[in-house]
Amino acid sequence: MVVPAKDASGAPGAGAELPSAATLHRAVQVLLAGGLVAFPTETVYGLGADADQVGAVAAIFRAKGRPPAHPLILHVAQAAAVASWTSAVPEPARVLMERFWPGPLTLILPRSARAGDVVTGGQDTVGLRCPAHPWAQALLRAFGAARADPTVALAAPSANRYGRISPTSAAHVRADLGQKPDGRLDLILDGGACTLGIESTIVDFATGVARVLRPGSIRLEQIRLALGAQVLSASDAEPAPRTSGRVRGHYAPGKPLELVEPGALAARIGELGADKAGVLAPSDTQLGVRPSALALRLTAAADAPAYARELYEYLHQLDESTAQILLVATPPHGSEWEAIHDRLGRAAAGSAGPIIDAD
């Protein structure tokens, strides 16, 4: 698959430099025509379409194989655009925007008429995020300039098929969704590997009290500190069935994945047979066998930000290996690791059988 986007140095995926003017122009033309553009954000790659075009947003659901009732996040270039997509912005939401935007934070707010049913899944709220990644910012601004409207938005879920592992590189998007004519997307922008690697923290303001619906790299205590007020955690929250990131069985590799305490890994490998096991564990973990005897041995990063950045790459590699069972050493505990535990728990739940209900 040829991905035409190259950065200024000519090497695809070389990092955070801005996309070339030609690349941006092409991406904007695709968006104006109602097409689908995969683009990098600091969290994961997004699968974007013009949020004002019902047909373009509907194409996202078809490309992902995602059920239509699952709402999409709208990406905007700046906080000033939020007024156009919402009917009210509570003061605490404003505080979080000022503190954390642009960045990995999505706010759920009462929607305006402009945020249509195809985006919101028919709910009376809309998810909004202002991404920090220079390519995402450049794309949003160029698209706003072409539409002569700085409040434009790109509706964008993660650029993976429904229920599959989230993409943190253009290669992941190419392998999972692909570019036309062989694949499903009109254009895949390659801005290198995502720097944070885990989807945004979602904070819901629909009920008056702020609730974290999905943990991310902005932690609950940072939100509490910024608001100086009570914030409910994901586990305190009422079940939110249409927040598909909360569906168990999300972010799942195709093979069974087990979370195993580091001290129990050697025994589990012994039971299964080393050649059947793909293992992700810290470097000093006792495995009872030589690493080369395993189907794949990946070394887990010791600190939470590095682990988060690599998490989906680890899962992609394990999934593509010859391993029949994926064994992941339970990571350390503590608030820095909460989002990682959340995603690994869902991956373990989702990999146990056929994927029934995951976005």
Binding site for ligand TXA (CB under 6 A): 41, 43-44, 46, 70-73, 104, 106, 108, 120, 123, 125-127, 129, 156-158, 199-200, 202, 240, 242-245, 359
- Smallest distance, Å, CB 36 to ligand TXA? 13
φ, ψ for residue 188, nearest 5 deg:
-115, 115
Sign of CA dihedral 237, 242, 245, 249: positive
- Smallest distance, Å, CB 295 to ligand TXA? 29
Q: CB-wise, 106 or 158, nearer to Mg ion?
A: 158
- Smallest distance, Å, CB 41 to ligand TXA? 5
> Residue 169 binds which one of Mg ion, ligand TXA, none, with CB within 5 to 8 A depending on kind?
none
Identify the bridge partners of residue 128 per DSSP, sorted by sequence position: 74, 107
> Residue 243 binds which one of Mg ion, ligand TXA, none, with CB within 5 to 8 A depending on kind?
ligand TXA
Whether the bond into 40 is cis, omega within 30 of 0: no
Q: CB-wise, 53 or 86, nearer to ligand TXA?
A: 86
> Residue 46 binds which one of Mg ion, ligand TXA, none, with CB within 5 to 8 A depending on kind?
ligand TXA
Q: Are 144 and 151 in contact (CB under 8 A)?
A: yes
Q: CB-wise, 41 or 169, nearer to ligand TXA?
A: 41
- Smallest distance, Å, CB 166 to Mg ion? 5
Instruction: Identify residues 139-158 at the interface with Mg ion (CB under 5 A).
Output: 158
Can you read off the two tokens belonging to residue 87?
A: 């009917």
Identify the bridge partners of residue 129 per DSSP, sorted by sequence position: 75, 106
Q: CB-wise, 158 or 195, nearer to Mg ion?
A: 158
- Smallest distance, Å, CB 297 to ligand TXA? 29
> Residue 120 binds which one of Mg ion, ligand TXA, none, with CB within 5 to 8 A depending on kind?
ligand TXA
Residue nearest to Mg ion (CB): 158
257-260 and 201-204 strand pairing: unpaired
Burial class (CB in 10 A: 0-12, 13-18, 19+), 54: middle
Distance, CA of 262 to CA of 63 (rounded, Å): 39
Q: CB-wise, 122 or 270, nearer to ligand TXA?
A: 122
CA dihedral defined by 282, 286, 292, 296, rounded to 10 degrees? -40
- Smallest distance, Å, CB 289 to ligand TXA? 37
- Smallest distance, Å, CB 149 to Mg ion? 27
Find the length of the chain. 359
Characterise 124 by phi-psi region: left (phi > 0), alpha (psi -120 to 50), beta (else): alpha
Q: CB-wise, 53 or 269, nearer to ligand TXA?
A: 53
Q: CB-wise, 158 or 200, nearer to Mg ion?
A: 158
Q: What is the DSSP string of 34-83?
A: T--EEE--SSS-EEEEETT-HHHHHHHHHHHT--TTS--EEE-SSGGGHH
Residues that bind Mg ion (CB under 5 A): 158
